[in-house]
Amino acid sequence: MPKDIGWKRQFASDTVAAVCPQALRSLQSANEIGFVPSYGEDDEFTVRARKQICQLFGKDESGCSVSFVSSGTVANALAMASACQSFDGVLCHPISHLEHDEANAPEYLTGGAKLLHVDGRDGKIDPNRFFDFLSRGHGYHSARLRMISITQATEVGTIYTLADLRELRRIKNEMESRLKELFNDEEYRLYYHMDGARLANAVAALQCDPSEIVAEVDVLSFGGSKNGAPPTEAIVFFNPALARDFTWRVKQTGQLVSKMRYLSAPWLGMLKDDVWLDNARHANSQARRLGLELQNLGFQLALDVESNMIFVRFGQAEADALQLLGWDFYPFQLHDGTAYRFVCNWSTTDQAVDDLLADVKTIVRK
């Protein structure tokens, strides 16, 4: 990548990166094949991509349904809408993407479902706080608890370990049992959603099978855009009941695109030979290196580097000086103050990290 084309912008987000070559070649092949059925009915790309995503999570298509959409926001909002009615409540972390970065899209597409905050350290929900909601409100005068949504990896780059997820599932299932009694409804379900915009980074960090992370998840928003794909995300249903009539929801929100192969084909390139996982491993590795070198220069990290994001404690003057040198990054309000976020991506090079560190060193010398 030429240094004169946004070189110092690349740590702002993993979405500023280009499309990786494997996804781009697969996209190009979709353009060269000729004429194929519309609206996701093509066997050549969309049907194959759906099948491969199901297989990635250890499922066949009888227990897994996949839809492709163009953004993480609409993936999350449609996932909420598949399970929630206007009077329902969704338990999520207060710094989740659902809450902070989706312009009320979940509330809009559900017709008014309420996002209810469940706090916890380092961007992760503390599932023991679920029980606080059992005494919230007065029956049908308040929102009915309907869904739990977690983000993996979180918005601050931390990761739910497999032990964390087991404990969350245990408490979620206990909550569901108690709510069945409270509502006097044996058919009641407390659904489980995972915002996996950076799921690849979590799988790479945990070095586990993808199926272990999504155990008991009802619906997953599986991110492509942040991991080297063009604008394409996959909504993956592991609960077939929630996928019923879902195509109508997708159509109603303008996401049932006629040339669906252009959303699905890149996934074939990403999934082949575990490119999706290699991309995430690379981003995570560069983030660890950057974090370590910043510490060696005397800067404190606000959080451990667990995925592809670094949160560093710069003073305001230091942050201003680095931005004046052209680097693009963002302040982020954490529970204990402000930190500055840097994000590595599939294409982050050693040279890019070196150049950033060289400019940081000039600030230190001042």
Q: Are residues 175 and 312 in the same domain?
A: no
Give me the DSSP letters along 188-240. ---EEEEEETTHHHHHHHHT--HHHHTTT-SEEEEE-GGGT-SS-EEEEESSH
The per-residue pLDDT for range 247-272, each reduced to its tens digit, is: 999 999 999 999 999 999 999 999 99
Phi, psi of 200 (to 5 degrees): -60, -40
Instruction: Write the CB contacts of 216 (distance below 8 Å, at least 6 apart in sequence).
Output: 169, 172, 192
Q: Are residues 268 and 290 in the same domain?
A: no
Domains: count for the chain? 2
Q: How far apart, in whole angstroms, are the C-alpha atoms of residue 78 and residue 92?
A: 16
- Report whether 11 contacts 342 (CB < 8 A): yes
The per-residue pLDDT for range 119-162, each reduced to its tens digit, is: 999 999 999 999 999 888 777 888 999 999 999 999 999 999 99
The whole domain housing 294 covers 7-18+276-365
- Report whether 330 contacts 341 (CB < 8 A): yes
Q: Are residues 204 and 216 in the same domain?
A: yes
Please list the ranges in the chain whose pLDDT falls under 70.
1-5, 365-366
Q: What is the CATH number of the domain that holds 86?
A: 3.40.640.10
Q: Is the pTM of this model over 0.85?
A: yes
pLDDT value at residue 161:
98
Q: Are residues 198 and 214 in the same domain?
A: yes
Which of 273, 288, 308 is the last residue in one of the domains?
A: 273
DSSP state of 46: I
Residue 187 CB-half CA count within 13 A: 1
Q: Are residues 298 and 223 in the same domain?
A: no
Q: Are residues 305 and 239 in the same domain?
A: no
- Name the residue type at position 36: V
pLDDT value at residue 4:
53
